[in-house]
A and B are shown apart, each in its own frame.
Chain A
């Protein structure tokens, strides 16, 4: 009887082992990189799911397909998910990414890269020259020091302070020249808006804990305050310096005095006029423009600096080429086609977002003459800073967000020790990944 049980157990173990081997063998074979880069044929691409980008994507794909019947491009929206980054990460693991994703967040690039999901565009013969000629000096923020470009900088939404002129008037503030340049001015204006403007908060950045939320409260102001500094530079966290703490103290005061809210607003607080300001990019003009009499101002700094010297966060999205792509030759040609001067112009016209190319105002002067309200964003787009390209980028941002939530939004800790502790952890993460 014991013998029978033993045989049965062995049989079960053998079946399970065989199953595990089969599962492991499903990893697939690896195609030669250079061969894939030369290969042409049909490809798939994903673009963002907002109506403007869908419209642009369809037009560009249709135009390409008419000219290249043998290299047909199939475009679709990024499948629904909590964030695009999660969807792309899942697709990398499953090996079913499309050739190109026109919505790759720079902060996720190191993670995708570590997973072996991204093609180094610098390996294409004209890869580096094309990227750097199109984006100018800003391109350097999107590559690795070794000269790799695992993303193509595509479009930016430089973050500025968007405000509701009617609510400013109601609060007794000058809507044409709003006093928002310094922290003191911003706090005073915010107090007036809450006291007299009838809003629940002067500004309502999301107070939730997702790693990316700091890009729309702390980080633009940190960049402005430091005159184009990044969260991490040369492997060392920078946010626990005097400038970083000044920005954090400003926001802490906003929360402490009820000028910003600790609660998540279920909806769009700016659209619902529950807040009078928002940190947004040019996409906001199309979204709010018809219903709200709006104005725009650079992000404030402690003592105020000239708008033409103010830097901000780019809120940039790149184009990523993914390693599961079999026809990378076609993908590279389509990428260049979609980011040509003509198609960048079409993108600007349809979406109002700023292509990551030099001299946007000069190149598309006709557009800005017709749409002067976008010019301020175009000027700001020349002075943008990206998230640092470091390994463990998302983990780093989450670590920072946790410290920011604890010390600024919920005031459970003091800012300096919380930031010092987060900086130490982040320095360790960066060192580990380098």
Chain B
């Protein structure tokens, strides 16, 4: 009898889990994040140990966190959404307009409006990608410009200024519960829900299956169109929520709000270890990636590295992640081939 079992099954459950954790991308970027925070704190203890510092460390990444969660769900299906920055800008403007029309508007309604507007814009992307079979890169590049163009046409030189935003909503931007900012709490709640769904629910696993091999997923009988559509709607809705966050935090919105954030969202996801061609990675990684990106931008000036190098450092991280992915994949392939060769031959 040939023994077809490979190594892992002979290890104990806890040893296996420890191994997975140690090898995981999430842990390695989390370590990088912690190192950066430590370095910045060593230089200026106020980076974390001051009212503002602690708050900003948690609060600053909250907007990118939402965008990265949405982007991850789309990327894992082997698509991409480049329109999230424009969607964020649109909902930020809508949020401002709602408050101008009625400053008494319930904050919960404003959040819902942001989610809905974002979901509607996401549905446009989803429709074109899932049902008209246009590549997502092209569709969302197009809608990125269209959404932004319509927005610019609507706003022109106008901007939503702090005076337009009611005080209670402005306060929400910095409000803290047990020193944790409210916006960050909402972001983490979204992260937990999406993460749990992707990890355990049938729909979540199907998203991975679609990203691994769309044709196989289709042959297997998965409703690829429906799942991809839903992924885009979720991504749009989260970008919409991020637009509301943006107004709460910056108390302003103009035609350029959210520009370039789409690329940061993709960068956060890639740095977080999600394969750009879909099928693997976790939303936890994307979230840590978002925290890492924002924290690097905050820490570099304190570490005495000039503004001009910040872009280069982020670029280096992205390429580093891809190279690391490639190396790990090759090593894994090699191991699997070896395992097959040793166990496969009688």
Do the two chains belong together in a single complex?
no
Chain B residues with CB under 8 Å of chain A are none
Chain A residues with CB under 8 Å of chain B are none
